[in-house]
Structure 1
Amino acid sequence: MPAEEGSGIHCRLDELLADRGMTLTELSRRVGVSLVNLSVLKNDRAKAIRFSTLTAVCEVLGCEVGDLLTVARRP
């Protein structure tokens, strides 16, 4: 959970993939980023993301950065 790790950032990659009928494997192939790295991002365990990766993911998914990454609301 993002709040436990302190970043407060939530990645909506799973939701965006589901909306587009795309698998993480297909995204990995199309973006050129390893499946492991995308899985870390999808599961809110990433500590950083390269702008080039962020741009490529958003281009493939046809979304904006704010659609992919959100600030998790803390209780």
Structure 2
Amino acid sequence: MKGRGFLRDLAEDLLWSAGIAKGMRVLDLGGGVGDASLIAGELVGPTGFVVGVDRSPAALAMAERRAVQAG
């Protein structure tokens, strides 16, 4: 992800403290535009998997675009 800020660092610390680690499978309910899902994806790495779910088709479309850009 591009750029780091206080809130991004805080979210990463929260997910790490919750036990998110390499190789895990994570479900992000109400994930919106994918902020937490993208951070979780970095934490689980290439051997893990993250699924983000949201009610808003527009939010999901944006999250998908961001995930593709992030690789």
TM-score (norm 1): 0.30
Higher-RCO chain (CA-CA 8 Å, sequence separation at least 6): 1
Q: Indicate the structure with greater helix content.
A: 1
Q: Indicate the structure with greater strand content.
A: 2
TM-score (norm 2): 0.31
